[in-house]
Amino acid sequence: MASTNHIINDKPLTTIPGSYGHPFFGAIKDRHDFFYHQGRDQFFAAKIKKYNSTVIRTNMPPGPFISSNPRVVALLDAISFPILFDNSKVEKRNVLDGTFMPTTAFTGGYRVCAYLDTDEPAHAALKTFFISTIAKRKELFLPLFQNTLAECFTEIENNLSSAKTATASLNDAVSSASFNFMFRLLCNNKDPAETKLGSEGPKLFDTWLLFQLAPLATLGLPKIFNYIEDFLIRTVPFPALFAKSSYNKLHEAFSANAGKLLEEAEKAGIERNEAIHNIIFMAGFNAYGGLKNQFPTLMKWVGLGGEKLHKEIAAEVRSIVKEEGGITLKGLERMALVKSIVYEAMRIEPAVPYQYAKAREDIIVNSHDNSFEIKKGEMIFGYQPFATKDSRIFEKAEEFVARRFVGEDGEKLLKYVVWSNGRETEEPAPENKQCPGKNLVILLCRVFLVEFFLRYDTFEFTYKNIVLGPNVTITSLTKASSTF
């Protein structure tokens, strides 16, 4: 641990340990360790051990030549992490993807909402528009998602019973469900299959996302391909041209069907062209990109919980649905186990694990034991899984504890659940950068579990952790033995 001078908030002010190494070779070494030699958890764990500190200096990928400056101060515990939510102290301009930003040619030439800082007036205007868009459509959430899930489970069952596959990709089924739900929600309940998109929507978004996010990914190929992969995807950014035809098809479909929403945007003072690119980004990057990974993550942990847990969920779900005479918001609120499981999945494996911000001024950040000074303009990086698996906050932090958030004591821990770029106990607002889909996402995850355990008693599966979350394959489904 480096030198200590003053005491701040009872914590010694300590120099931030860690080193960046040579500007070029140091960054390349860190990125090879991160992706190939150690893997991301071990990369940070090794540095915590080496420097005996949870606030450290390191380079973050992609580095040369995509990011001009890969140097960050990494926050790796639950106490220091929330400085990233204090918008008076940190700036979130162009940092959505970290130390680089894909060209705005991916988004019609606009810097869309998620790249704007709270000090930019356009952020408040667009965020207010999104918050009200979601609020105005809240009556649609339940019926729309229930219909979408009916199709999703039929697809899974068909694949399972098909002699050809005999297994079903959960990821493929929930990708379509996430896309269809968002498209219908934003486009006046229009079925995307009845537009020029047909069933291609998810693939078009995947292509567009891939070219923006490739520098942060690895395909997990055999070792001999590592350096080739690294060179190909992290040396120069992919031009937006590669995704242009996919994006244009999406643009056409959203423009043709989101008329009502575009009128709402114009009434809110947002110019039509800026609105449509923002709507597509929200639907495709923020919402589809998050949800399509969220459901497999949820089902991976529920699956690992085993048959006993499945029985308990089914019992809770079926008794409350029976009492309420169907799936209702009130009933969902009463499902203590279902609610806790959704929070626990988001705690143990947050869908968006990296958060970035720049210090607006010289700031002091506290960890459990020390305080540190971060200088104005320095990039701050939070590795969320280490904040939400902090063993000084959560008992058995590395384990999936289904009932962790049940009861008064459990609920006290919700302030440490931060998947939405803010605390679970706080709300998205025009003046912060918290996800405006926060409550919708939680609702959809609960409904997913409810619909699943109304239909099935249990399931078997295999999974593989891939680029941005687990790839889950369902190998068997046991139909519900009791009805409600």
Using the rule CB under 6 A, give the single segment among 156-164, 232-240, 241-249, 413-421 that binds ligand HEM.
413-421
Q: Is 55 helix (H, G, I), strand (E, B) or coil?
A: strand
Distances 87 to 76, 386, 421, 423 between C-alpha atoms, Å: 19, 22, 12, 14
Q: Does 294 bind ligand HEM (CB under 6 A)?
A: yes
The reply on whether position 420 binds ligand HEM by CB under 6 A is: yes
Candidate ranges 59-67, 222-230, 284-292, 365-373; the one touching ligand HEM (CB under 6 A): 284-292
Site map 295..334 versus ligand HEM, x via CB under 6 A: ----------------------------------------
If one asks whether residue 202 binds ligand HEM (CB under 6 A), the answer comes out as no
Among 31, 89, 111, 127, the residue binding ligand HEM under the rule CB under 6 A is: 127
Are the CB atoms for 254 and 283 separated by under 8 Å? Answer: yes
Residue 92 as a binder of ligand HEM (CB under 6 A): the answer is yes
Number of C-beta neighbours around residue 105 at 10 A:
13
Question: Is 171 among the residues that bind ligand HEM (CB under 6 A)?
Answer: no
Q: How far apart are CA 189 and CA 182, in angstroms?
A: 9
* Residue 291 binds to ligand HEM (criterion: CB under 6 A): yes
Rama region for 383: left / alpha / beta (φ>0; ψ in -120 to 50; rest): beta
Q: Strand 4-8 relative to strand 11-14: parallel, antiparallel, unpaired? A: antiparallel
Q: Does 421 bind ligand HEM (CB under 6 A)?
A: yes
Shortest reach from residue 11's CB to ligand HEM, in Å: 26
Give the list of residues 6+ apart from residue 366 with CB closer than 8 angstroms, or none.
Answer: 8, 9, 11, 79, 80, 372
Q: How many CA atoms lie within 13 A of 338 on its CB side?
A: 27
| Least distance (Å) between residue 366 CB and ligand HEM | 21
Q: CA 253 to CA 322: how far, in whole Å? A: 40
Decide: is 82 part of the binding site for ligand HEM (CB under 6 A).
Answer: no
Please list, in sequence order, all residues whose beta carbon lies within 8 angstroms of the beta carbon of residue 137, skipping any fewer than 6 positions away: 185
CB nearer ligand HEM, residue 11 or residue 446: 446
Is residue 436 part of the contact set for ligand HEM (CB under 6 A)? yes
Q: Where does this chain touch ligand HEM (CB under 6 A) — which range of 154-162, 208-216, 392-400, 432-440? A: 432-440
CA distances (Å), origin 84, targets 111, 352, 366: 21, 14, 12
Q: Which residue from 171, 212, 286, 371 is in contact with ligand HEM, where contact means CB under 6 A?
A: 286
Contact call for residues 95 and 70 (beta carbons, < 8 A): no
Residue 276 interacts with ligand HEM (CB under 6 A): yes or no:
no
Q: Footprint of ligand HEM on this chain (CB under 6 A)?
A: 92, 96, 113-114, 127, 130, 134, 282, 286-287, 290-291, 294, 351-352, 355, 419-421, 433, 435-437, 440-441
